[in-house]
Amino acid sequence: MPPRHLLIVNARNVTQPVFVIGAPHSGAEAVGRALKISPGFHLTIGQQPVLQAVYGFARRPSLHNGRGDAAAAVIRDAFAQGWQLNPTSCLDCTPQCRSAAGLKPSEVGPCVEQRGLSRYGDASPDLAYCAEALVHAFPDALIVQVVRDGRDTVAAMINDPMAMSWFRPSVVNIDTEFPNPFYGVEDESDRLTWPSLTNVGKCAMRWRGAIRLAARLRLALADNQLKTLRYEDVARDPRSAAAALTDFIGTKIAAPITPTTKRAKTEQNAWRRSLSYTQLAEVEKVAGEELRRLGYK
């Protein structure tokens, strides 16, 4: 385990920060929102310095390979900036972060009181794709990973302009950065297959990549450092999810805000209405093994 570095933010020592990770549209943000409204927590979602570091290492894992300590320093510095609190610190926050804090559009902030602040965390998009570098930067970090039916995540991704923007030819870097976990491209077969995939297949490969990263993280970390939640269970019983998170993190966590049980069932089967048989066949071809391994029949 790398040595633990002292990080002071807002005159407080950062210990056991909590990071919520998962594939795009896996439900990680819903869990992050629960932490954000929990007493004593300052959790951020999509702070600019954090996103710059996340996408820098997620899209170019070679930056981390062989440069672990330097990469860790960059990541710690990014979070130190993102977690800073001052009278105007929330003005530049993302809409997701401000909404999670309950701030009105015209409200200045900050979103949390420094008095009683004891824990830090983050649930930024695509954090899962740089999890290895993240754990190297914060060896005592607690990781909450959220998994969800890959068919539902694909159905959500193809309707998300931000998620789809990563597939523009000018953005995809699987030839210059290989292997490329961000796109789920792990071997030469994946790289050769990529150009023939539709956007649905490419979304499925990204989901598959996040699931494989999660499996490797599960093997690398102890049970007291990694907690896996299934989004369907969180949506079905938020109180039980809150109890599990409270036990894992060691502080009282609010229940995740998810759709009602009836709506949750509909949301969990969105792929039945959104994906055609041809699209489902492509998802099965790309990620069927992972779907079955996770129990999604």
Is the pLDDT reported for residue 261 higher than 50? Answer: no
Mention every residue, 6+ apart, whose C-beta is less than 8 A from residue 96.
29, 45, 46
CATH architecture of 8-293: 3-Layer(aba) Sandwich (3.40)
Region 21-36: mean pLDDT is 95
Asked whether residue 19 carries a pLDDT value surpassing 50, the answer given is: yes
Q: What is the pLDDT of residue 70?
A: 86
pTM: 0.92
Give the whole-number percent of the chain exceeding pLDDT 70.
93
- Tell me the helix, strand and coil percentages in the chain, rounded to 5: 50, 10, 40
Confidence of residue 4 (pLDDT cuts 50, 70, 90): low
Confidence of residue 173 (pLDDT cuts 50, 70, 90): very high
* From 12-21, 91-100, 142-151, 169-178, the region with the lowest mean pLDDT: 91-100
Question: What's the pLDDT band for 11 if we cut at 50, 70, 90?
Answer: confident
Rounded CA-CA distance 106/155 in Å is: 33
d(CA 158, CA 203): 7
Cα dihedral 193→195→199→203 (10° resolution): 40
Reported confidence tier of residue 107, pLDDT bands at 50, 70, 90? confident
Residue 268 binned pLDDT confidence (cut-offs 50, 70, 90): low
SS3 269: coil
d(C-alpha 239, C-alpha 121), whole Å:
21
How crowded is the C-beta side of 209, counted as CA atoms within 13 Å? 26
Range with the poorest average pLDDT among 152-161, 166-175, 261-270, 272-281: 261-270
Q: For position 92, what pLDDT does the model report?
A: 74
For residue 185, report the phi and psi dihedrals to the nearest 5 degrees.
-90, 110
Is residue 167 within 8 Å of 197, Cβ to Cβ?
Answer: no
Range with top average pLDDT, 46-50, 64-68, 202-206, 271-275: 202-206
Q: Among 40-44, 114-118, 161-165, which is the least confidently predicted range?
A: 114-118
Per-residue pLDDT at 112: 82
Q: Is 237 exposed, middle or buried (0-12, 13-18, 19+ CB in 10 A)?
A: middle
Closest CA to 136 of 247, 53, 59: 53
